[in-house]
Amino acid sequence: MRARFTEPLAVRAFGSELFVRPSQIIFLVGVFATLVSLVLIVFFVRSRVPREEEAAEGEKELSAKPAPAKARSERRAGAKGAGTAAPPRESAWSIMREVTRENRFWVFIVFIFLLVLVKMIFQYNHSLYPLYMERIGFQEWTGRLYSINPAIIIFLVPVMTALTGRYNAYTVILIGSFVSAASVFFMGFGESIGLIVLFQITLSLGEALYSPRLYDYTATIAPKGREASYMAYSKAPMFFAKVGAGPITGILLARLCPAEGARNTELMWILVGASTMISPIALLLGRRWLDVEGRERRERAAAEARAGASAESSRPA
């Protein structure tokens, strides 16, 4: 059975015999699924998304008070007579220029880049962890222990989202990033299956805390109508984490976990944990500036307090 799924497959095509490896089949399936998704989005989903003006008009009609039937019919007739031509869409370049002029955008960018080091843990889980398991003799456990993270995330994310929904998004992200960064230090205590399990469980707990609330923070800080642009930028940490994790993995393996010779894997994981802990510490230190939701709440409370004080002082004695 193992040979059937690991040996190359012989396929006849165009009068010749081609050999396809199982790894190539995985990539081909990914390409096919991506093409199917692209077709569905372009030809079936996108055409059904209402225009922004129509959606805004619908919100106005729902929020407005009920009008007489005659007035409503007159408005509809006037709207039909005015024409149905939609205004031209903004180009990607003009949207980018407008977004980058906003102060909130740069606050958001700083916040996003501070998360890069935490996101690198997941890249280490892809690149460093498998080779580490192989070199300490636990290669048969690699896939089993790696599956702990997705198994927990599937069930824990909805629960954590419901439990933390009433709390400030930045606070939950801060706690979750601390938990995720701290999880790596379990690996610094030694080479043990139990410690690896603790690492995966703690990492999953932190991810379940901060990952869904990242979207809440993004939606809160984004100006109205620019949520999609901010959501796209929120994916940047993962791409930068991929760029950094690759060469760092090679250096750590060569210096502290070589295939042959003396190893110091405890120091290797302590260095990884110390580097990732920079992110939550920086988020904590910059909270007053980066926590836009909390800052707005404090400003509203201060304004209400000032209004109450002025009203109290204006009362006749």
On whether residue 36 sits in a domain, the answer given is yes
Do 128 and 215 reside in the same domain of the chain? yes
In a domain, 63, yes or no: no
**Dihedral (C-alpha) 243, 246, 251, 252: value to the nearest 10 degrees?**
110
List, for residues 3-40, the tens digit of each pLDDT value. Answer: 666 677 777 767 777 777 777 788 888 899 999 998 88
Q: Are residues 117 and 248 in the same domain?
A: yes
Domain boundaries, position 154: 102-302
Number of domain units in the chain = 2
pLDDT of residue 201: 97
Co-location of 38 and 115 in the same domain = no
- Model confidence pLDDT, tens digit, residues 245-280: 889 999 999 999 998 889 999 999 999 999 999 999
Look at residue 104 and tell me whether its pLDDT is greater than 90.
Answer: no
Q: Are residues 145 and 266 in the same domain?
A: yes
pLDDT in tens, 54-98: 455 445 544 554 444 444 444 454 444 444 455 556 676 777 777
- Measured distance CA(186)–CA(270) in Å, rounded: 9
Taking CA atoms, 118 is separated from 2, 88, 112, 203, in Å, by 36, 41, 11, 10
- Residues above pLDDT 90, as percent of the chain: 38
In a domain, 307, yes or no: no
Do 21 and 153 have their domain in common? no
Task: Convert 252-301 into a string of H (helix), E (strand) and C (coil).
Answer: HHHHHCCCCCCCCHHHHHHHHHHHHCHHHHHHHHCHHHHCHHHHHHHHHH
- 210 and 284 share one domain: yes
Same structural domain for residues 38 and 121?
Answer: no
**Is the Cβ–Cβ distance between 152 and 193 less than 8 Å?**
no
Query: For residues 127 and 298, what is the distance between their CA atoms, to the nearest angstrom?
Result: 43
Judge if 13 and 141 occupy the same domain.
Answer: no
pLDDT of res. 49: 59
Q: What is the arithmetic mean of pLDDT over 205-217?
A: 90
Query: Model-level pTM greater than 0.85?
Result: no
Residues 37 and 185 both lie in one domain: no
Average pLDDT, the chain: 82
Lowest mean pLDDT across 77-81, 161-165, 206-210, 307-311: 77-81
Instruction: Tell me if 92 is assigned to some domain.
Output: no
Q: Which of 73-77, 111-115, 201-205 has the highest mean predicted lDDT (pLDDT)?
A: 201-205
Which residue bears the tokens 């796209």? 232
**In a shared domain, residues 265 and 141:** yes
Q: Is residue 53 part of a domain?
A: no
Rounded to an integer, the average pLDDT of 131-143 is: 93
CATH number at residue 278: 1.20.1250.20
Is residue 209 a contact partner of residue 160, using CB atoms and an 8 Å limit?
yes
69 within a domain of the structure (yes/no) = no
Does residue 249 sit within a domain? yes
Comparing CA positions, the residue from 209, 220, 188 lying closest to residue 280 is 209
How far, in Å, CA of 4 to CA of 26, rounded? 15
